[in-house]
Amino acid sequence: MWRSENISRRSILAIGAAAVSAVALTACSGSSGAPAPAAGGNSSIVWSTWGTPDELTRFNEFNKQFMERHPDIKVKLQPVASYGEYHSKLLAQLTSNTAPDVFYVGDDKLGQFVSSKRLMPLDEMIASPASKTKKEDFFPGTFGAAQQDGVTYAAPNDVNNDALWYDKKVLATAGITEDPATLAADGKWTTEKYLEMNDKIAAAGLTGSMFWNYWATHYGWISAQGGTAYDASGTFVGNSDPKTLAAVETLGKYFQDKKFIAADTLPDGAGADSKFVTHKAGFFAQGRYTIGTLKGAGVEADYDVVDWPTPDGKPAPTGIAASYLAVNADTKNKDAAFTFWTEFLSAEGQNFRLTGGGNAVPSIKGADEVVLEDNYPAHAQTFLDMRDIGFANYATEAAVPALSTDISDLFLELYQGKNDARGTLDKVAALIESKTGK
């Protein structure tokens, strides 16, 4: 489970339904090919998620239109307000055979649920003519722990990759005349250039960059710098890879020098969002949901996005936060549950949930236009480009409850100067081995 300060950023962020205005789910209307409901002509399914009031409003709008298309399927949303309570409640329901038919699972819990054998294998139904969500339509790197031993047990409902949002006013205050997105377009967005900008911003008395302390930050940085955290077998090798060690040394140094800040550690009332919209930080690694924060503060014109820097200026894979939709293996209404599942995840379903201010990035082909709506930010295509090559949380970690959180705690020790890069990576390797045997 992520820290409470981070729950809204790393779990709710991937729901992608934070829009109050209603829009029509036009393309989903052609559902005549969907599986029939249960034998009696009527099915009732319950599905569950966490979310804010605005997000739940959009979900209920989806339910309403779904039932208009499928009058023989009754759908009920069973929301849980707290992400921190959601998965424990769901596990208890699965144990007592009272769980919903369809439900969300966070990326830090997914492996645990897959291992529980409580999720319905989906490949056969995904491949059926009735499916609106073919496996090849999803971006491969987004599945993560949803696939085990060649079997698919869930799919990402939408995603959020952390682009580097940057404040053009702060850069100007620091005497920086080059634009990061322009440098990236020219293949010149290098790690050297990025760190140089952070140095100048810090010299101006401001914060260089802010990151949330979770798996996508440390593994995203390692990947961007050419390092390797896990090998193809799922074994942690970061403590034996020279490029990983060098990357973590740089990461630790910039945190210890206060040029980078862990957003989780900022005090209540003076958090990272506040710091960013008041022009006190140059860069902030966050997802598409940042649009709402900037527009709410009326400062959106001052900001843009760029991908993470690399030694040679060529884009590299970074982490993608996600949540997943699964079907209860014991559902009594398999066909109806799958009909809901496939329409919710379809391009049309994601368009409906993300259009008009939605806060995430589609996980399936055919819905990218929602990211480019309103032409904001100017380089919104960056979110799509990063998603196309990014990666979900490593299955090795996602399979063990709290492992990713415990690893993040070890990285926080590095950031606070309580350990060095070598010691941190060795402790991470020992922890993973003790929990997974790898």
Same domain flag for 281 and 426: yes
* Averaged pLDDT for residues 292-312: 97
Does residue 8 belong to any structural domain of this protein? Answer: yes
Residue with tokens 């080059």: 178
pLDDT of residue 215: 96
Model confidence at 20: pLDDT above 70: no
pTM of the model: 0.89
pLDDT of residue 357: 64
Residue 94 burial class via C-beta count within 10 angstroms: exposed 0-12, middle 13-18, buried 19 and up: buried
Model confidence at 12: pLDDT above 60: no
1-10, 126-135, 206-215, 242-251 — which is least confidently predicted? 1-10
Model confidence at 88: pLDDT above 60: yes
Q: How confident is the model at residue 268 (pLDDT cuts 50, 70, 90)?
A: confident
Model confidence at 386: pLDDT above 80: yes
pLDDT of residue 26: 34
Total structural domains in the chain? 2
Residue 217 burial class via C-beta count within 10 angstroms: exposed 0-12, middle 13-18, buried 19 and up: buried
Does residue 394 belong to any structural domain of this protein? Answer: no
End-to-end CA distance of the chain: 22
Model confidence at 31: pLDDT above 90: no
What is the percentage of the chain residues whose pLDDT exceeds 70?
A: 90
Same domain flag for 264 and 411: yes
Model confidence at 166: pLDDT above 70: yes
* Averaged pLDDT for residues 66-95: 94
pLDDT of residue 2: 27
Of 160 and 30, more confident: 160
Model confidence at 255: pLDDT above 50: yes
pLDDT of residue 4: 30
Of 380 and 12, more confident: 380
Does residue 64 belong to any structural domain of this protein? Answer: yes
Q: How confident is the model at residue 3 (pLDDT cuts 50, 70, 90)?
A: very low
Rounded to whole angstroms, how far apart are CA atoms 268 and 265?
9
Of 13 and 51, more confident: 51
Same domain flag for 45 and 80: yes
Does residue 419 belong to any structural domain of this protein? Answer: yes
pLDDT of residue 350: 95
* Residue 328, strand partner residues: 119
Does residue 393 belong to any structural domain of this protein? Answer: no
* Averaged pLDDT for residues 318-329: 96
* Averaged pLDDT for residues 28-54: 62
Task: Retrieve residue 161's tokens.
Answer: 């990759």
For residue 53, the domain's CATH number is 3.40.190.10
Question: Do 208 and 282 touch, CB atoms closer than 8 A?
Answer: yes
What is the percentage of the chain residues whose pLDDT exceeds 90?
A: 80
Same domain flag for 182 and 273: yes
pLDDT of residue 287: 96
Model confidence at 383: pLDDT above 60: yes
Does residue 145 belong to any structural domain of this protein? Answer: yes
Task: Retrieve residue 141's tokens.
Answer: 């790197």
Model confidence at 409: pLDDT above 90: yes
Does residue 258 belong to any structural domain of this protein? Answer: yes
Same domain flag for 302 and 183: yes
Q: Cα 20 to chain center, whole Å?
A: 21
Same domain flag for 20 and 78: yes
Task: Retrieve residue 223's tokens.
Answer: 């990947």
pLDDT of residue 401: 84
* Averaged pLDDT for residues 165-188: 98
The per-residue pLDDT for range 418-428, each reduced to its tens digit, is: 999 999 999 99
Same domain flag for 282 and 340: no
Residues 399, 401, 407: CA angle, nearest 5 degrees:
95
* Averaged pLDDT for residues 329-341: 96
33-47, 202-216, 264-278 — which is least confidently predicted? 33-47
pLDDT of residue 228: 98
Q: How confident is the model at residue 51 (pLDDT cuts 50, 70, 90)?
A: confident
What's the domain range around 373? 4-159+321-384
Question: Do 210 and 260 touch, CB atoms closer than 8 A?
Answer: yes
Can you say whether the dihedral through the CA atoms of 111, 347, 125, 29 is positive or negative?
positive
Question: Do 336 and 75 touch, CB atoms closer than 8 A?
Answer: no
Model confidence at 231: pLDDT above 60: yes
Does residue 392 belong to any structural domain of this protein? Answer: no
Same domain flag for 410 and 421: yes
Model confidence at 29: pLDDT above 80: no
Model confidence at 395: pLDDT above 50: yes
Same domain flag for 13 and 64: yes
pLDDT of residue 5: 33
Rounded to whole angstroms, how far apart are CA atoms 23 and 21?
7
Same domain flag for 417 and 270: yes
Q: What is the DSSP letter of 76?
A: E
Q: How confident is the model at residue 13 (pLDDT cuts 50, 70, 90)?
A: very low
Same domain flag for 178 and 155: no
pLDDT of residue 358: 65
Rounded to whole angstroms, how far apart are CA atoms 351 and 384?
14
Same domain flag for 118 and 68: yes
Q: Which of 22, 210, 373 is nearest to 361 (CA)?
A: 373
